[in-house]
Amino acid sequence: MKDQATSLRNLVQGKTEYAVSRGAAKPTAAPVKPVFSLSQGSLPSLPGGSAAAPSVPSSTAYPMSSWETLPGASPPVFRPVIRRSGEARIVAVTSGKGGVGKSFVTALAASMMRRVGYHVGILDADVTGPSIPKMFGVSGQIRGTASGAYPLPSDGGIDIMSVNLMLKNEEEPVVWRGPVISGVVKQFWSEIIWQDVDYLFVDMPPGTGDVPLTVFQSLPVDGILVVTSPQELVSMIVKKAVNMANLMKIPILGFIENMAFFRCPDCGKEHHLFGESHLPAIAAQYDLPVLGHIPIDPAIAAACDRGQVETLENHWLDGLMTILQNLKEK
């Protein structure tokens, strides 16, 4: 435990200091600054190690963020420049609770858009439960430079940034408090060099807590995809996610229902293992479209486990493609 505490202190490097003790009524905090600095030409020493810094031509210089804010404060909308030839569209993929397949839908949507020729990136904002690198079979550590750091590409050419790409051991837990996690997510946006990205998908953590609030306030999000499953309980929680998006005044592109049904391989009949879907009623209530129904299929799980999510034949999200292409044209 002592070694782990030392590692975490080295990570934060005194830039986020908490005075927390047992029995204290309230924690006190110093102003939150960027958790790590890429301007030193190397990545921070996260538990397990750090990445080397290659030399990069000055033409790839990338503006660094310099803001800081107090925990609980509402920072101004921060819109750093993505180095690209066109205008990137940022899509946040959310869910009201965990376990509904939000990360899988993020991976599926990104792979779909990459397959038709767009340059796509994924920002894995689920810092404490990252699964995007595993689905794509991406491993190793990102490389930092004096100008920023580069995401790692998948086999299909999708740029990926995740906290797991900063750890020597991907099984190392990330034991951070909310303000630290929020700071890291901001840096994943502002200090990672997303080059010529057409679409940047943000895999959000579940719920309506610190990180979703940080993303909605700090990134110029163009639209939100809400992922759900058929159960009535999940549908109730989805309404919270919808109401949060409305509160933040960010348009919802539509709903995607995962684990919608199981198709019998023998007779082809569809079975609704979680009961009949409540999503059409919710979508009608909010006047929003249902953009796809993804089945329960062992082949899907097998592809994700092998790191081959890009190889899946995806016809479940055809409605989403049209929405995203229209978003790009705006």
Tens digit of each residue's pLDDT (9 = 90 or more) over 228-243: 888 766 667 778 888 8
Between 82 and 58, the more confident residue is: 82
Q: At CA 304, angle to CA 302 and CA 310, rounded to 5?
A: 115
The pLDDT value given to residue 308: 93
Tens digits of per-residue pLDDT, 174-195? 888 888 888 888 889 888 999 8
| Percent of the chain whose pLDDT exceeds 70 | 72
Distance of CA 144 to the CA centre of its chain: 20
N-terminal to C-terminal alpha carbon distance within the chain: 52
**Angle 232-247/279-286 helices, nearest 10 degrees?**
20
- Per-residue tokens: 285: 């209530």
Q: At CA 35, angle to CA 136 and CA 223, rounded to 5?
A: 50
The pLDDT value given to residue 37: 52
The pLDDT value given to residue 38: 47
CB atoms within 10 A of CB 232: 11
| Stretch 1-6: mean pLDDT | 40
Q: Is the distance from CB of 210 to CB of 193 less than 8 angstroms? A: no
The pLDDT value given to residue 74: 43
Interacting residues of 322 by C-beta distance below 8 A, sequence separation 6+: none
- Rounded to 10 degrees, what is the CA torsion of 240, 244, 247, 250? -130
Output 154-158 pairs: Cβ under 8 A, ≥24 positions apart: 154/310, 155/310, 156/111, 156/114, 156/115, 156/310, 157/114, 157/119, 157/120, 158/110, 158/111, 158/114, 158/120, 158/121, 158/122, 158/310
The pLDDT value given to residue 200: 96
- Considering only CA atoms, which of 85, 66, 86 is closest in space to residue 76? 66
How far apart are the C-alpha atoms of 241 and 236, rounded to whole Å? Answer: 10
Interacting residues of 146 by C-beta distance below 8 A, sequence separation 6+: 38, 39, 40, 41, 53, 56
With a cut of 70, say whether residue 319 has pLDDT above it.
Answer: yes
The pLDDT value given to residue 123: 96
How far apart are the C-alpha atoms of 54 and 33, rounded to whole Å? Answer: 25
pTM exceeds 0.85 for this model: no
Letter for the amino acid at 20? V
Q: Is the distance from CB of 204 to CB of 211 less than 8 angstroms? A: yes
The pLDDT value given to residue 7: 40
Confidence grade of residue 36 (pLDDT, cut at 50, 70, 90):
low
CB atoms within 10 A of CB 248: 16
The pLDDT value given to residue 217: 86
Domains in the chain, ordered, with CATH? 81-329 (3.40.50.300)
Q: Is the distance from CB of 322 to CB of 289 less than 8 angstroms? A: no
